[in-house]
Amino acid sequence: MTAGMKGLGNAMPARSRTARVRERNHRAGRFATALLLMLAAPLATPMAQDAPAAPAAINFTQRGVPAEATAENGVIARERALANGRRAAWERLAASAGISRQLSDAQIEQMTASIIIEEERTAPTRYTGRITVNFNPGRVRALAGGAIAGDGGGTGGGTGGGTQGETGRPPSPVPVAATVEAVALYGSLQDWLELRRRLNAGAARMEVVAISTDRARLRLSLRAAPGVVAEEFARQGVSMTPGSGAPGDAWRVGLAGRS
C-alpha cells in the first residue's frame, strides 16, 4: 500500500468521530428545543383562554356640559336649558356604559343628584350656560344592571335623586314630613333664581310643576310641618303664606318684601 493510501486510511476514523460528535450535538439540540417547548406550553395556555370582560367603570359626574335653550322668556329658557343639559350629560354617561335605553326627561331628572352651574349667560328669551351634572350612582346602577362596575372617580351624589341642588353639594337623605303645593311669585329672572336657591336650602326637595314669566307652580317636600318651615323660610328671607286654597295654590312663596 502506498503512503498516500495509508494517510487516507488514517484520516477516515478521525472524520467519522467528528461526524458522530456533530450528530450527538444535533440530537441534544433538538431535545433541548423540544423540552423548552413543553415547558413553555403550560404557561401560554391561560393566556389563550378568553377572560370575561370586566364591567365598564363609569364617571357619574359629567362636567362642562353645555346647557342652552330659547323660549318666550328667560325663566322658561333656563328650565329648558337645564333639562337639555341633563339629557346631554346622561347621553355621555350612557355612551360610556353601553346603555342604549331611551329615557324621558323625568326619568333622567330622577337620576340626577345635583346640578352645579359652572357659567351662565341670560337674555330676555335665551339662556346659555355650562353645567356639571352629578348622577345618583344607585339609581343609574338600578337602570343599567351589572353593566357598570364603579364610579370611575366621579362623586355621583347622595341618595336623594330628583333634587336639583345647584350648590355643588349633593342633597342629604333627610326625611320628608309633608308635601305641599305652592305658587312661587317673582318679578324677574334674577328674583326667581334667588328664590329657588333659598327654597332649595330650606326644603327637603323642590319640584317645578309649571312655570311662566312671573310665577311657578311648585311641589315642596318639607323637612317639617308647613308652619315650622314657614318660620325657617322667614329667617332665610322667603315668605310662605296660605294661598287661595285652589288646586295647586295651597301656599304662596316669594322673596320677603317682593311678593
* Each residue's pLDDT tens digit, 149-203: 554 444 444 433 333 444 344 444 456 778 889 999 998 888 888 888 888 877 7
* Cα separation, 193 vs 186, whole angstroms: 9
| CA gap 106, 118 in Å, rounded | 23
pLDDT value of residue 101 = 81
Residue 129 confidence (pLDDT):
92
What is the pLDDT, as a whole number, of residue 83? Answer: 92
For 154, residues 6+ apart whose C-beta sits below 8 A from its C-beta are: 58, 59, 60, 61, 62, 134, 135, 137
Write down the pLDDT at residue 205. Answer: 77
Residue ranges for the chain with pLDDT beneath 70: 1-21, 24-57, 144-175, 204, 258-259
Number of H helices, E strands in the chain: 6, 8
The predicted structure's pLDDT at residue 59: 84
Please tell me the distance from the alpha carbon of residue 82 to that of residue 85, in angstroms, as a whole number.
5
Domain ranges within the chain, ordered by starting residue: 52-173, 174-259
pLDDT of residue 204: 62
Q: CATH top-level class for 174-259? A: alpha beta
pTM, two decimals, is 0.49
